[in-house]
Each structure stands twice: as structure tokens, then as C-alpha cells.
């Protein structure tokens, strides 16, 4: 499954220098709201909520903000707007397939914002189903630290993992381990039981095939579109199926 987490890796690199901290806080808080709404508002009995809270704490979100988000999800916080989850689909420059998950209290505003972001950056918002067939949702556990690949393989198989991908060396050393959505909690617990440092667990859309981007201008335009979409207030996640060679990526992001 090499390469399928390329955009996720790019986002992690960019997050180091991302100054839009309030936007990050808002998106994570919304993750908590959705998790609390779709399951129990108690992290002990709701793995998705527990994972969202862990993500919030890792990002430095204050406990009072976390508790407020849980209350909004549970419907016990006065004045909270009713948010609904919607998935949008579209195409980027060169036919790149893009899948977007949004939380909104006004569909018409969200669709208009997305349509404008696409049109300004060489893409177009498509109809429901136009690209979603190219993606499959998986559970992902991100672990950090030096990896013994033989050991990771054994532990991952014991935890019901489908595959893994090594990420880098030195401070960036670690791996992403992939599994079925329903098995993510089991996998996370298995990794922790073997003393792996599980930094993050999340659900992610994985493209079944990739589209190579080999020209600098197209690479810049694709990355600009991804940024524009992720900057929208109602957007939670953006996934695409492009692949950019490391050298070209460095040049495009410079």
C-alpha cells in the first residue's frame, strides 16, 4: 500500500509550521461533537470519542473546550447549532479525484464555498458518487519511534492489521498501520500492549489507485487546491489520489 498516505504525510509536515491554530482547534472540536453524538458521550464507552479527545489533548486544546464539545455532541449545551455530516466529491487539476468530509449547519453555504474553491484552482465540484468508488475507508494507527519491521509485522498481524507503511528516520521514524474500520480499537490496544507509542488513531479514506503528477505547475495547482479546500471552515477532511515525486514535491512546496 505504498504511497497511499502521501497527502497525510504532507499535511503532517505542513502542520509543523501551520499558524492557523484556531482552525485546527475547531476541526478537532467538531470531531469530538460528532463522536459524542453518534455514540455514548462517555469516552470510556466510545472509542471514537476517546480517540478524538486524545487528538485534542495532543494538539493542546484546553480541557474546558473538550468538555464543551462533548456537551454539544450530547445535546446538553445550550445554544449549540445542529451540525450534519456531508460528503462531497470533485476533480482537481489533471483529473485528480478528491473526496471531502464536511460538518455544516447550512448545506447551501458549504456547497457554494467548495464550488468556488474548486473553480478558482483548476478543479470542479462533482456529483455524489463521481469519485467515491475510488476510495475505501480504513482505520489507521500512527506510531512513532524506531521500528523493528519483523516485530511490527508480527504484532500487526496479531492485532488484525491489513498492512503497514514505514514513515521515515530519526525524529520522523514511525509507521502507519492499517486495518478495517471495525477493528481499529483492537489494533490500537494490541500495539499499546506491546509498548508502541500510538500517537493517533483515525478513520481515513484510502484511494484504490493513484494519479501521477509529473509537472511542476500542475503540482503547485493541486497543492493550492488542497490548501484552499482544507482552509474552509466547514471542511473536516480532504483526501485525494495524486502522487507527486519527492523532488517535485519539495520544489512545489518551496
What is the tens place of the pLDDT at every residue in 80-102? 567 788 999 999 999 999 999 99
Q: At 79, list the grid cell.
A: 445554544
In the chain, how long is the greatest CA-to-CA distance? 52
Is residue 212's pLDDT more than 70?
yes
Task: Give one DSSP letter per residue of 66-126, joined into a string.
Answer: HHHHHHHHHT-STT----EEEEEEEE-GGG-EEEEEEEES-HHHHHHHHHHHHHHTT-EE-
Q: What pLDDT is attached to residue 4? A: 44
First-to-last alpha carbon distance for the chain, in angstroms, is 27
- The Cα 178–Cα 49 span in angstroms is 19
Q: Is 235 helix (H, G, I), strand (E, B) or coil?
A: strand
Residue with the bigger pLDDT between 22 and 150: it is 150
- Listed in sequence order, the residues at least 6 apart from 39 whose beta carbon sits closer than 8 Å to its beta carbon are 45, 46, 48, 49
What is the model's pTM? 0.79
The fold of the 6-74 domain, in CATH, is Arc Repressor Mutant, subunit A (1.10.10)
Mean pLDDT, the chain, rounded, equals 85
Judged on CB neighbours under 10 Å (0-12, 13-18, 19+), 24 is middle
- Digit-coded pLDDT (tens) for 72-82: 877 776 655 67
- Listed in sequence order, the residues at least 6 apart from 234 whose beta carbon sits closer than 8 Å to its beta carbon are 102, 103, 104, 109, 110, 113
Q: Is 144 helix (H, G, I), strand (E, B) or coil?
A: strand
- pLDDT band at 31, cuts 50/70/90? confident
Taking a C-beta distance cutoff of 8 angstroms, is the pair 121, 233 a contact? no
Q: What is the mean pLDDT of residues 230-247?
A: 89
Taking a C-beta distance cutoff of 8 angstroms, is the pair 117, 97 a contact? no
Q: What pLDDT is attached to residue 17? A: 44
Q: What pLDDT is attached to residue 53? A: 87
- The Cα 164–Cα 192 span in angstroms is 16
- Digit-coded pLDDT (tens) for 104-156: 888 999 999 999 999 999 999 999 999 999 999 999 999 998 899 999 999 99
Residue with the bigger pLDDT between 5 and 65: it is 65
For the chain, which residues make up each domain, given as ranges? 6-74
State whether the Cα torsion 12-160-134-165 is positive or negative.
positive
Instruction: Report the share of the chain in percent with pLDDT over 70.
Output: 89
Q: What pLDDT is attached to residue 247? A: 85
- pLDDT band at 175, cuts 50/70/90? very high
175: nearest Cα among 211, 146, 217: 146
Q: What pLDDT is attached to residue 6? A: 55
Least confidently predicted of 15-24, 31-40, 166-175: 15-24
Q: What pLDDT is attached to residue 85? A: 85
Q: What is the mean pLDDT of residues 190-207?
A: 91
Q: What pLDDT is attached to residue 245? A: 85
Taking a C-beta distance cutoff of 8 angstroms, is the pair 25, 196 a contact? no
Q: What is the mean pLDDT of residues 28-45?
A: 81
Is residue 1's pLDDT more than 50?
no
Q: List the beta strands (DSSP E) in the chain.
A: 84-91, 97-104, 124-125, 135-144, 163-168, 174-179, 197-207, 211-212, 235-240, 242-243
Q: What pLDDT is attached to residue 14? A: 52
Amino acid at each position: 500500500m505504498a504511497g497511499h498516505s502521501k497527502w497525510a504525510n504532507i499535511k503532517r509536515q505542513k502542520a509543523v509550521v501551520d499558524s492557523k491554530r484556531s482552525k485546527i482547534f475547531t476541526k478537532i472540536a467538531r470531531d469530538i461533537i460528532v463522536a459524542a453524538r453518534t455514540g455514548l458521550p462517555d469516552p470510556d464507552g466510545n472509542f471514537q470519542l476517546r480517540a478524538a479527545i486524545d487528538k485534542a489533548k495532543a494538539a493542546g486544546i484546553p480541557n474546558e473546550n473538550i468538555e464543551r464539545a462533548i456537551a454539544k455532541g450530547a445535546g446538553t449545551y445550550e445554544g449549540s447549532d445542529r451540525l450534519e455530516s456531508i460528503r462531497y466529491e470533485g476533480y482537481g487539476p489533471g483529473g485528480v479525484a478528491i473526496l471531502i468530509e464536511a460538518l455544516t449547519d447550512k448545506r447551501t453555504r458549504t456547497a457554494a464555498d467548495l464550488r468556488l474553491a474548486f473553480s478558482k484552482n483548476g478543479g470542479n465540484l462533482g456529483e455524489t458518487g463521481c469519485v467515491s468508488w475510488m476510495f475505501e475507508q480504513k482505520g489507521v494507527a500512527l506510531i512513532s519511534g524506531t521500528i523493528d519491521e519483523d516485530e511490527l509485522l508480527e504484532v500487526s498481524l496479531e492485532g488484525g492489521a491489513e498492512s503497514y507503511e514505514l514513515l521515515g528516520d530519526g525524529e520522523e521514524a514511525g509507521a502507519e498501520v492499517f486495518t478495517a474500520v471495525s477493528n481499529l480499537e483492537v489494533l490500537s490496544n494490541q500495539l499499546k500492549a506491546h509498548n508502541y507509542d500510538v500517537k493517533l488513531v483515525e478513520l481515513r479514506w484510502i484511494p484504490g489507485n493513484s494519479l501521477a503528477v509529473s509537472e511542476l505547475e500542475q503540482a503547485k495547482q493541486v497543492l493550492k487546491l488542497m490548501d484552499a479546500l482544507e482552509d474552509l471552515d466547514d471542511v473536516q477532511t480532504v483526501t485525494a489520489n495524486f502522487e507527486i515525486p519527492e523532488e517535485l514535491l519539495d520544489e512545489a512546496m518551496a
